[in-house]
Structure 1
Amino acid sequence: MQKNLTIEWQHIGKNISTTCVRCNATGITLLQVIEDLKPELMKNDVHIAFKETVLSNDQLPESNRIIINGKALEDYLKNARVIQTPCQSCACIVNNETAECRAIEISDELYESIPAEIIHNVLIRIIRGDESSSDSKGSCCCQ
């Protein structure tokens, strides 16, 4: 029986080429991880529905967010929290002198763009039906 996996990437800017530097890096990484997981998706009969959502400038605190099956990526990770850090790229986009963009802190590591390893490990657990087991960096316990 085919399973569906919905992935939404949210960012400010008109598209991937006009978003902030860190959102751009997250988006490119996310698309590459999805591409790399195609064999695993086929093996597990999982269909991905990908959606890119361009946010308005007043939604900046929500930018650079990946939502998987209605749940933010960081909610799948232990010891993860969302923080806002200064981002000159966002400041240019929203026409302010300063702005803060969304980042994730996992244990003591700060990620202003989301690394492939974290995205991959969360998605692989979901694809394999094991959303409950993760370590502090989102690694799969069985890899």
Structure 2
Amino acid sequence: MEIIAEFGSSLLIVGCVLGFFMAWGIGSNDVANAMGTSVGAKALTLTGAILVACVFEFAGAYLAGGEVTETIRKGIIDPSLLASTPHYLVYGMLASLLAAGIWLLVASIFGWPVSTTHSIVGAIVGFSAVCIGSESVNWGKVGSIASSWVVSPVLAG
């Protein structure tokens, strides 16, 4: 783990900046998708929508964020395949955050309602498939994630 010993503080700062960039993209895209209809229908004021979004976004991150993070961190790809080259994992995850964040920025600028989950899962699958090969992707887990994208709207009605 020479990369962590040598560049740990710098990587932490870059990771935080990219994480905040991704969080901004989530807020600008997902909250607008979720709350736009409520504000447009005048069921909520803009201030009310922001407060509701803050409360429930925080609650969702706090209550379910650990499981989601675990799946993103270890479920989509097998990080043990990068044990001999940990710098690839570090750079790949940073690149995934940047790519997903840029995609969310572009989508927000054009008003496209895209999924942040699709963005980050696709970025991680892409990084792993390019860096290691498609066999490094846990396709069963990716399939279950993708099936939830289809099943959830159907069950929601």
Query: Structure 2 length normalisation: TM-score?
Result: 0.32
Larger relative strand fraction: 1
**Which of the two has higher C-alpha Rg?**
2
Higher relative contact order (CA 8 A, sep 6+): 2
More helix by share: 2
Compute the TM-score of the two structures, normalised by the length of structure 1.
0.34
